[in-house]
Amino acid sequence: MRINTMQKNGFTTIELLVYVAGMVVLMLAIGTLIYSMYNFYRDATIGPRADRIGISVVDRVTKDIRTGVSINTELSRFNVPTGAISMNAQSGASLLTKYFELIDGRVVYIENGGATQYLTPDDISVSNFYLTPISTPISQAVKYNIDITYTSRGVETIKNFTGVAILRHSYE
């Protein structure tokens, strides 16, 4: 009696389906892990990033107001949450026009009517750009209040930045 022994080469369809299903489960687990790590990273870095953005906007506004000679009150909006300030500023021997405004949740800067520069990114919103002029017989100053709003883990957080800057050339 002879027994026919054939050797199998390759995989059966069932084995192939089991391996593919295992790979799909493994890829889903890896994808979920990467997505959760990305969310953790974003949540861990958004607060310090908002602080850096707020500090840089405050620094830029302060430095530019300090170069000011006078405020153009007709082009400025004071004592409103969507403030704007236009001023004449001294840069060496030349006189410049500097303009800050809150547009669509972003602080913009325009110099001499040129190109618009965004001082804040589009993924972090500025919810308040409140400017208050301060005038004395000797000088002019501007008090500002900037609120930066961001969302982390479904919770909206507001960071507040305030300051006062004196137009240095207004009293010279």
CA–centroid distance for 119 within its chain: 8
Which segment of 7-11, 35-39, 71-75 scores lowest on mean pLDDT?
Answer: 7-11
Within a domain: 140: yes
Distances (CA, A) of 73 to 32, 77, 78, 132: 54, 8, 9, 11
Q: Give the Cβ contact number of residue 95 at 10 Å.
A: 13
Q: Is the pLDDT reported for residue 2 higher than 60? A: no
- Round to whole Å and give the CA distance between 30 and 62: 47
Within a domain: 139: yes
Please give the model's pTM, rounded to 2 decimal places. Answer: 0.74
Count of the separate structural domains present in the chain: 1
Distances (CA, A) of 75 to 14, 78, 99, 101: 75, 10, 9, 10
Over residues 144-161, mean pLDDT: 89
Within a domain: 126: yes
Residue environment code for 65-83, b if the CB has 16+ CB neighbours within 10 A, otherwise e: bebbbebeeeebbeeeebb
Within a domain: 22: no
Distances (CA, A) of 93 to 90, 96, 165: 7, 10, 22
- Round to whole Å and give the CA distance between 2 and 38: 64
- Which position has the higher pLDDT, 160 or 93? 160
Tell me the pLDDT tens digit for each residue of 50-71.
Answer: 999 999 999 999 999 998 888 8
Contact indicator for 148, 54 with CB cutoff of 8 Å:
yes
- Round to whole Å and give the CA distance between 149 and 93: 39
Quote the domain boundaries for residue 120. Answer: 29-170
Tell me the pLDDT tens digit for each residue of 119-148.
Answer: 999 888 999 999 999 988 888 899 999 999
Backbone angles phi, psi at 68, to 5 degrees: -70, 150
Within a domain: 4: no
Q: Which of 37, 142, 138, 43 is nearest to 98 (CA)?
A: 142
